[in-house]
Structure 1
Amino acid sequence: MTDKAISPLRRRLIEDMTIRRLSPKTHYQYIRHVKKFADFLGRSADKATAEDVHRYQLWLASIGTSVGTANVSATALRFFFKITLKRHDLAEELISTREPRRLPVVLSPEEVGRLLAAATNTKHRAILSLAYATGLRASEVGSRKLTDIDRDRMLIRVEQGKGKKDRYVILSPILLAILHEWWRVARKKGWMSPGQPWLFPGYRGQHTSARQLHRIVRLAAGRAGITKRVGVHTLRHCFATHLLEQKTDIRIIQVLLGHKKLDTTALYTRVAISTIGQVTSPLDFLRKMPG
């Protein structure tokens, strides 16, 4: 599809997403998938038929598209058909597949300790410590502001996290000391200039990006001799799992993580090794029964 042909549709799609306050990331994904569908058709997407939708989904499967990507495509096209084109018949043709539920990679407390010790500088240590101590998502770690740190209540405010929800997470005394040390170093180097809002300033007035955060984690993991595939989200998994192993109520963990459903948090019960290890097998009970 040519840019001239897609322009009116793209403009209307963008307007529909803007009205519904969808995030910039969602804008990008929806536009990309609608364009990919139009490129497959070789004509304007508003001329699609039910058979076209069927052929496209079959093609995605045939080229080995992951379940996650195929589901994002279906969500994007469903929005485009239902909201922008008012073609509910086409929206109903789209199939979403249940994605395989895999257990997250979790480091032991000893491995986390080695990871934090392997941080190359004060900023990296502060970032890794914040991620593990709070269970924040990568985007939430990087975008924290200085004003989010509430030392009086020992809380950190997370404004408009996933699902456009505000929440608070815990601020431990040790984390506060680490963050204060980072602030002192950054201020001395001129990185905390007046009006600069970010806890972890990046380039050109922006905060440290998620890509940079992942690089910091992988660098520390390499230095610590950790061979598991880790990222910022790994520390979030560690936070939840280690709290569960310390017998923290799962509903409290749910609130701290910002999960909408308890079922999502319950995934960590499958990787809480120390908790599993404390369960007595029914075979052992059987052997204790009088003969």
Structure 2
Amino acid sequence: MKTIFVKSGIWKNKGLVLLEFAYDEELKELVKTLSGAVWNGKRKAWILPYQETILEQLLALFKSKAWLDYSEFKKIQPEQLPAELPELSKGLNQEIRKFAEWMQNRRYAESTIKTYSQSLSLFFRFMNNKNPEEISSEDLENFHQNYILRRKYSVAFQSQVISAVKLYFSNKLKRKLEPMEIERPKKPRLLPHVLSKEEVKAILQAPKNIKHRTMLSLIYACGLRRGELLGLKLIDVDSKRGLLRINQGKGAKDRMVPISGKTVEMLREYYLVEKPKEYLFEGMTKGQKYSPNSLQEVLKAAVHKARIKKPVTLHWLRHSYATHLLESGTDLRYIQELLGHNSSKTTEIYTHVSQNSLQRIRSPFDDL
């Protein structure tokens, strides 16, 4: 099967996607059906305008026609696209640094601190470096209408920018911005992606490297998030009690999850080979955490080797863990505890993708 190399990048302030593959008449005709597709002779690649759903479109278009290698494809966030806005002033840059320190002192997640800092920077640049003391609710409304909505940014991006600006003004300047025309957009309900047990088994058995195989297996075996896996230390494994301690998971919560005898034996075999020093999974340097990006690459290689034509992410293994537990009869309340969800409503979404629940429904078509 032909291979198409999918890459993304930014050129002249626009997000672009490059498709590179050996000449094939059938693939060429398929590419030409994509909106905005242009051949670039110098790059010897087809160029497409970047869209949030472009990867899903490509996977559907080339299904059974070609294998997509998207190891160099990176999602482009709206804040990464250079906007025609002035540079941030030194004074406001310093103000954002202080805001970031304030969030660090209150134990906000590093990802939240980064996202909120970028969002606030974008807002101040749109305001042409206006003094924060002079910014009003009308200014935020103007930013919302003439920047976010006009550029058709996602609901998630819209919500995070508004949250960042309101947090800064309410907690740093002790002043609330209450824009009248802005309503928080409804977050779309997205169903979790779930793999079959056969697909999971193929992915977990694909890596020859024992560390790679153990990392992916433990994510599925315990329903871990990526950061939770990489934060595990040797002392967190209680093999005698058959428990794994998750420290400071999402929401700064600790929790315990059970590990089976099979999982304990897998971890023992891994330890004898790798002999980690502090963290359960370490990188090239002993005592240092394994890289998040490297772990993602491990998964991509495993999915490729397993010949699974889906854009599988590490979180799909966690979703599959929860769904398979539900299908085996585990009470939803226990699944909520195992996953570390605050609300049962978050866990209930797995009932919408449970094979057992859906297959019990009989279509009226069958009675015709």
After TM superposition, the score normalised by the length of structure 1 is: 0.89
Among candidates 200, 209, 212, match of residue 281 of structure 2 = 200
SS of 1:159's partner is: strand
Structure possessing the higher relative contact order (Cα contacts under 8 Å, 6 or more residues apart): 1
Report 1:210-221 matches (<5 A).
210-221=292-303
Report 1:221-236 matches (<5 A).
221-236=303-318
Q: 1 or 2, which has the higher strand percentage?
A: 2
Q: Which amino acid aligns with 2:140?
A: V
Instruction: Judge conservation of contact 2:325–2:335 (CA < 8 Å) in 1.
Output: yes
Instruction: Judge conservation of contact 1:158–1:167 (CA < 8 Å) in 2.
Output: yes
* 1:4 CA drift (Å): 2.5
Report 1:30-45 matches (<5 A).
30-44=116-130
Alignment partners' CA distance in 2, 1:91 and 1:159: 39
Cα deviation 1:86-126 (Å, max 9, x = unaligned) = 22134777542122111111110011111111123101110
Instruction: Show the counterpart of 1:63.
Output: 151
Q: Which amino acid aligns with 2:250?
A: K
Q: Which amino acid aligns with 2:143?
A: Y
Report 1:95-244 matches (<5 A).
95-187=183-275, 192=276, 196-204=277-285, 205-244=287-326
* 1:155 CA drift (Å): 0.5
Instruction: Judge conservation of contact 1:132–1:239 (CA < 8 Å) in 2.
Output: yes
Instruction: Show the counterpart of 2:26.
Output: none
Stretches of structure 2 that go unaligned for 5 or more consecutive residues are 1-86
SS of 2:208's partner is: coil
Alignment partners' CA distance in 1, 2:272 and 2:258: 22
Instruction: Judge conservation of contact 1:240–1:268 (CA < 8 Å) in 2.
Output: yes
Instruction: Show the counterpart of 1:10.
Output: 96
Alignment partners' CA distance in 2, 1:19 and 1:271: 40
* 1:151 CA drift (Å): 0.6
Instruction: Show the counterpart of 1:249.
Output: 331
Alignment partners' CA distance in 2, 1:198 and 1:16: 29
* 1:246 CA drift (Å): 0.4
Alignment partners' CA distance in 2, 1:90 and 1:36: 19
Instruction: Judge conservation of contact 1:241–1:271 (CA < 8 Å) in 2.
Output: yes
* 1:168 CA drift (Å): 0.5
Moved more, 116-125 or 15-24: 15-24
SS of 1:89's partner is: coil
Instruction: Show the counterpart of 1:22.
Output: 108
Instruction: Show the counterpart of 1:88.
Output: 176
The Cα RMSD (Å) is 2.2
* 1:51 CA drift (Å): 2.0
Instruction: Judge conservation of contact 2:140–2:179 (CA < 8 Å) in 1.
Output: no
Alignment partners' CA distance in 1, 2:173 and 2:323: 45
Q: 1 or 2, which has the higher helix percentage?
A: 1
- Note if 1:50 corresponds to 2:124: no
* 1:44 CA drift (Å): 3.3
Instruction: Judge conservation of contact 1:140–1:158 (CA < 8 Å) in 2.
Output: yes
Alignment partners' CA distance in 1, 2:149 and 2:270: 48
Stretches of structure 1 that go unaligned for 5 or more consecutive residues are none
Moved more, 275-284 or 138-147: 275-284
Instruction: Judge conservation of contact 1:106–1:271 (CA < 8 Å) in 2.
Output: yes
Instruction: Judge conservation of contact 1:81–1:90 (CA < 8 Å) in 2.
Output: no
Cα deviation 1:8-66 (Å, max 9, x = unaligned) = 52244234323422222222222111111111111235032222101111211221211
Alignment partners' CA distance in 1, 2:208 and 2:148: 43
